Amino acid sequence: MTNHWTDIANANLILVMGGNAAEAHPCGFKWVTEAKAHNKARLIVVDPRFTRTASVADYYAPIRTGSDIAFMGGLINYLLSNDKIQHEYVRNYTDVSFIVKAGFGFEDGLFSGYDAAKRSYTDKSGWGYELDEDGFAKVDPTLQDPRCVYQLMKLHYSRYTAELASMTCGMPQERMLKIWEEIATCSQPGKTMTILYALGWTQHSIGAQIIRSAAMVQLLLGNVGMPGGGVNALRGHSNIQGLTDLGLLSNSLPGYLTLPGDAEQDYDAYIAKRALKPLRPGQLSYWQNYGKFHVSLMKAWYGANASFENHWGYDWLPKLDIPGYDVLKMFDLMGQGKVNGYMCQGFNPIAALPDKNRVSAALSKLKWLVVMDPLATETSEFWRNVGPFNDVRSADIHTEVIRLPTTCFAEEDGSLVNSSRWLQWHWKGADGPGETRTDVRIMSELFLRLRKRYQAEGGAFAEPLLNLSWPYKVADEPSPEELARELNGNAVSDLTDASGATVKAGQQLSAFAQLKDDGSTASGCWIFCGSWTEQGNQMARRDNSDPFGMKQNLGWAWAWPANRRILYNRASADPQGKPWDPNKRLVWWNGKTWGGTDTPDYKADVPPEAGMNPFIMNPEGVARFFAVDKMAEGPFPEHYEPFETPIGINPLHPNNKQATSNPAGRIFDSVWETLGQAKDFPYAATSYRLTEHFHFWSKHCKLNAIVQPEQFVEIGEVLAQEKGIVAGDRVRVSCKRGHIEAVAVVTKRIRPLQVNNQTVHQVGIPLHWGFTGSTRHGYLTNTLVPFLGDGNTQTPESKSFLVNVEKI
Work out whether 372 is an interface residue with ligand MGD (CB under 6 A): yes
Work out whether 629 is an interface residue with ligand MGD (CB under 6 A): no
Work out whether 46 is an interface residue with ligand MGD (CB under 6 A): yes
Among 81, 43, 73, 51, smallest CA distance to 166 is for 73
Rounded to the nearest whole angstrom, what is the least distance from the CB of residue 473 to ligand MGD in the complex? 22
Interaction residues for ligand MGD, span 698-737 (CB under 6 A): none
Q: Report which residue type is found at 313.
A: G
Work out whether 766 is an interface residue with Mo ion (CB under 5 A): no
Is the CB of 350 or the CB of 515 nearer to ligand MGD?
350
- Euclidean distance between CA atoms 716 and 764, whole angstroms: 9
- Euclidean distance between CA atoms 630 and 30, whole angstroms: 35
Out of ligand MGD, Mo ion, none, which partner does residue 418 contact, by CB within 5 to 8 A per kind? Answer: none
Count residues binding ligand MGD (CB under 6 A).
52
DSSP 556-582: BSEETTTT-SSTTGGGGB-TTS-BSSG
Site mask for ligand MGD (CB under 6 A), range 51-90, x = bound: x-----------x-xx-x----------------------
Out of ligand MGD, Mo ion, none, which partner does residue 296 contact, by CB within 5 to 8 A per kind? Answer: none
Is the CB of 236 or the CB of 478 nearer to Mo ion?
236
**With left for phi above 0 and alpha for psi between -120 and 50, is residue 743 left, alpha or beta?**
beta
Is the CB of 419 or the CB of 708 nearer to Mo ion?
419
Out of 581, 694, 717, 745, the only residue in the binding site for ligand MGD (CB under 6 A) is 694
Work out whether 200 is an interface residue with Mo ion (CB under 5 A): no
Interaction residues for Mo ion, span 210-249 (CB under 5 A): 236
Map 158-207 to HEC letters: CCCCHHHHHHHHCCCHHHHHHHHHHHHHHHCCCCCEEEEECHHHHCCCCH
CA 271 to chain centre: 25
- Euclidean distance between CA atoms 518 and 296, whole angstroms: 9
Beta-sheet strands, E only, within 198-326? 231-233, 252-253, 257-258
Number of CB atoms found within 10 A of residue 66's CB: 32
Rounded to the nearest whole angstrom, what is the least distance from the CB of residue 765 to Mo ion in the complex? 16
CB-nearest residue to ligand MGD = 236
- Euclidean distance between CA atoms 20 and 201, whole angstroms: 11
Work out whether 242 is an interface residue with ligand MGD (CB under 6 A): no
CA dihedral 299→301→302→303, nearest 10 degrees, is 50
Is the CB of 326 or the CB of 601 nearer to Mo ion?
326
Rounded to the nearest whole angstrom, what is the least distance from the CB of residue 482 to ligand MGD in the complex? 18
- Euclidean distance between CA atoms 797 and 204, whole angstroms: 4
Interaction residues for ligand MGD, span 98-137 (CB under 6 A): none
Is the CB of 662 or the CB of 798 nearer to Mo ion?
798
Q: Which stretch binds ligand MGD (CB under 6 A): 17-25, 102-110, 359-367, 468-476?
A: 17-25
CA-to-CA separations, 728 to 344, 472, 710, in angstroms, rounded: 37, 58, 11
CA dihedral 664→667→671→673, nearest 10 degrees, is 0
Rounded to the nearest whole angstrom, what is the least distance from the CB of residue 632 to ligand MGD in the complex? 19
Beta-sheet strands, E only, within 467-545? 490-491, 495-496, 502-503, 521-522, 532-533, 536-537
569 close to 598: Cβ distance less than 8 angstroms: yes
Out of Mo ion, ligand MGD, none, which partner does residue 106 contact, by CB within 5 to 8 A per kind? Answer: none
Print burial letters for 436-470: b (CB count within 10 Å at least 16), e (below 16).
Answer: bbbbbbbbbeeeeeebeebeeeeeeebeebebeee
Out of 261, 346, 480, 577, the only residue in the binding site for ligand MGD (CB under 6 A) is 346
Rounded to the nearest whole angstrom, what is the least distance from the CB of residue 58 to ligand MGD in the complex? 17
- Euclidean distance between CA atoms 467 and 254, whole angstroms: 19
**DSSP code, position 356:** H
Out of 136, 286, 287, 347, the only residue in the binding site for ligand MGD (CB under 6 A) is 347
∠100-104-109 over CA atoms, to 5°? 130
Out of Mo ion, ligand MGD, none, which partner does residue 406 contact, by CB within 5 to 8 A per kind? Answer: ligand MGD
Q: Report which residue type is found at 248.
A: L
Work out whether 782 is an interface residue with ligand MGD (CB under 6 A): yes
Work out whether 693 is an interface residue with ligand MGD (CB under 6 A): yes
Work out whether 585 is an interface residue with ligand MGD (CB under 6 A): no
Site mask for ligand MGD (CB under 6 A), range 414-443, x = bound: -------------------------x----
Out of Mo ion, ligand MGD, none, which partner does residue 420 contact, by CB within 5 to 8 A per kind? Answer: none
Residues that bind ligand MGD (CB under 6 A): 17-20, 24-25, 46-49, 51, 63, 65-66, 68, 198-200, 203, 236-237, 345-348, 352, 372-375, 377, 406-409, 439, 686-689, 691, 693-697, 767, 781-782, 785, 798-799
Residues that bind Mo ion (CB under 5 A): 236
